[in-house]
Amino acid sequence: MSEIKSYSVGNGDMFYINHNSDNLTIIDCCLNEDTADSILDELAGLSEAKGITRFISTHPDDDHIRGLDLLDNKIGILNFYCVKNDASKEDETDCFTHYCKLRHSSKAFHMFKGCSRKWMNQHSDERGSSGITVLWPDREHYAFKEALNATALGESPNNISPIVKYALDGGATAIWMGDLETEFLEAIEDAVDLSTVDILFPPHHGRDSGMIPSSMLEKLSPKIVVIGEAPSEYLNYYAGYNNITQNSAGDIVFQCVSGKVHVFTSNVYTVDYLNDEDGVHDGLYYAGTLNL
């Protein structure tokens, strides 16, 4: 069994994958005064039980790195995954300064399409793989090079975001797309190897600005689309696809087992596309089960 958790952090993203191996993966960071202590304590407890903890930073916007310094102080980030970049900002926050320190340190691993590493997607006698694959960026693609150059000049880093896929052997698949923008996705579609996915975290918290082109959605055919937190007028609810809206659901936990995903939320949340299999999770409400 593995668990994917999408934290309810307001306008921002923060996730973890508690793998069915000696691995913990944290994706992005967005801490605020109300949630920081509880999230940091939870992640510290999970990390202490694992031999490998990695942090994946999709891109250095504030709502994806807020509190990164606090997280590092709490758990000690030893494996910092990011796209190699020289993103700059006119007004540097403490969090961005800390991001820059990590991205240029010996702790950094720079992600790119098809990269491999122990124990991200390589097994060994010591521990198993995390089941993580990086589908993008292609570092030679013109659109990515343009995005890198723009961020080095202080423009938005949205389009340096990687596309990261997690797969549980015999179980669910999930994809994260950072804050990639629609026009950029249209430019790179033919360079990304996409296949069907069970859980999709669309770009930009599900906003219209990161709407996935219909041709890409057809390739992905997601069973659940997780719409992140943002004012509803900015969100795209992906009509025709099953979704969970974090604005209403709160924290979301996907408990992944062979052939199934049990879904739990911190708020009472009801959908009609999940089966009732009497799931139980401490401190959370059971929303139902997705049969794969």
Domain region containing 267? 2-291
Share of the chain above pLDDT 90, in %: 97
> What was the pLDDT predicted at 34?
86
Q: What is the 3-state secondary structure (H, E, C) of 170-223?
A: CCCEEEECCCCCHHHHHHHHHHCCCCCCCEEECHHHHEHHHCCCHHHHHHHCCC
Contact indicator for 12, 63 with CB cutoff of 8 Å: yes
Q: Is pLDDT above 90 for 153? A: yes
Domain count, the chain: 1
Give the model confidence (pLDDT) of 228-286 as tens digits: 998 889 999 999 999 999 999 999 999 999 999 999 999 999 999 999 999 999 999 99
What is the value of pTM for the model shown? Answer: 0.98
> What was the pLDDT predicted at 33?
87
Give the model confidence (pLDDT) of 81-95 as tens digits: 999 999 999 999 999
Tokens of 70: 């606090």
Residue 94 maps to which CATH number?
Answer: 3.60.15.10
Give the model confidence (pLDDT) of 271-292 as tens digits: 999 999 999 999 999 999 999 9
Backbone angles phi, psi at 232, to 5 degrees: -60, -30
